[in-house]
């Protein structure tokens, strides 16, 4: 009997070790709790993030143990990547945003338009009468397809009244990055220097790859299995994140 218990404990320990290795070095699931990345990521999306995309730091491991001082095997992220990072304010909270500025870039909103290194980021109107959520409230918004200089294209949402008109000029420091939410008028991101601001390369966790499961968390819990037809967004399963 004792041998059976001991063997079971060893098996569980091995399984935990393997799970930690996979989570730390390869891939980790994340849940989307806010609307800051609408219309591309919705509240209730579950997605996989690859941990190896930009190398490894202490934030690659559970509870961010101080076992790595800098970043190992660092690979520079690209503008337009959707990235999970630890917020500089506490080095604990996970945020997911889109990378817009790399070290040395100048970024500013002028009259509701995004400028990168003194050049306006072109955006094509996709849908003029749509809605995005801001918290629990649906807000009438315009959808645009934005075009970064690298050729990366993605959809962004701006409130119909263009709440965000003008900002200060942001200059991205060395070894730091500047992030924006795709839901431009409802996102706490690098524009808010006191809470997010510029993100150090060591705070990068990984690159968002694809959605593996999604349910409408605003309508109810997935534990209400009798409502799965209403709650689960089957059309978002295994959707690649652009």
Catalytic residue among 51, 58, 97, 123: 97
Residue 162 has what pLDDT?
62
> Where do the H-state alpha helices sit in the chain?
2-21, 228-231
Task: Give pLDDT tens digits for 29-79.
Answer: 999 999 999 999 999 999 999 999 999 999 998 888 888 888 999 999 999
pTM of the model: 0.91
The C-alpha torsion from 139 through 127 and 33 to 36, rounded to 10°, is -80
Catalytic residue among 34, 35, 36, 214: 36
Task: Give pLDDT tens digits for 170-189.
Answer: 999 999 999 999 999 999 99
Mean local confidence (pLDDT), 122-135 = 88
Could you tell me which of 211, 140, 161, 205 has the C-alpha nearest to residue 179? 205
Measured CA distances, 134 to 39, 149, 179, 193 (Å): 11, 29, 18, 21
- The yes-or-no answer on residue 97 being catalytic is yes
Instruction: Give 17's pLDDT tier (boundaries 50, 70, 90).
Output: confident
Residue 7 has what pLDDT?
57
Task: Give pLDDT tens digits for 18-40.
Answer: 666 767 678 999 999 999 999 99
Residue with tokens 């990547």: 81
Residue 86 has pLDDT above 70, yes or no: yes
Mean local confidence (pLDDT), 217-223 = 87
Fold of 29-119+148-154+164-240: Umud Fragment, subunit A (2.10.109)
Measured CA distances, 201 to 29, 79, 146 (Å): 21, 14, 25
3-state secondary structure at position 170: strand
Domain boundaries, the chain: 29-119+148-154+164-240
């Amino acid at each position: 009997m004792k041998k059976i218990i001991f063997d079971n404990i060893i098996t569980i320990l091995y399984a935990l070790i393997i799970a930690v290795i996979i989570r730390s070095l390869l891939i980790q699931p994340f849940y989307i709790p806010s609307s800051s990345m609408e219309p591309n990521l919705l509240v209730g999306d579950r997605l996989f993030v690859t941990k190896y995309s930009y190398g490894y730091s202490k934030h690659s491991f559970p509870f961010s143990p101080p076992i790595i001082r800098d970043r190992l095997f660092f690979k520079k992220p690209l503008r337009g990547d959707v990235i999970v990072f630890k917020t500089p304010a506490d080095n604990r909270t996970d945020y997911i945003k889109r990378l817009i500025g790399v070290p040395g870039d100048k970024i500013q909103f002028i009259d509701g338009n995004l400028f990168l290194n003194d050049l306006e980021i072109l955006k094509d109107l996709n849908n003029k009468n749509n809605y995005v959520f801001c918290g629990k409230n649906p807000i009438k918004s315009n959808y645009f397809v934005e075009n970064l200089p690298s050729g990366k294209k993605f959809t962004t949402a701006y409130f119909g009244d263009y709440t965000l008109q003008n900002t200060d000029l942001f200059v991205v420091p060395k070894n730091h990055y500047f992030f924006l939410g795709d839901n431009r008028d409802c996102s706490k991101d690098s524009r808010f220097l006191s809470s997010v601001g510029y993100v150090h390369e060591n705070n990068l966790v990984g690159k968002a790859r694809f959605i593996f499961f999604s349910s409408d968390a605003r309508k109810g819990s997935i534990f209400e299995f009798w409502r799965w037809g209403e709650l689960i967004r089957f059309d978002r399963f295994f959707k690649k994140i652009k």
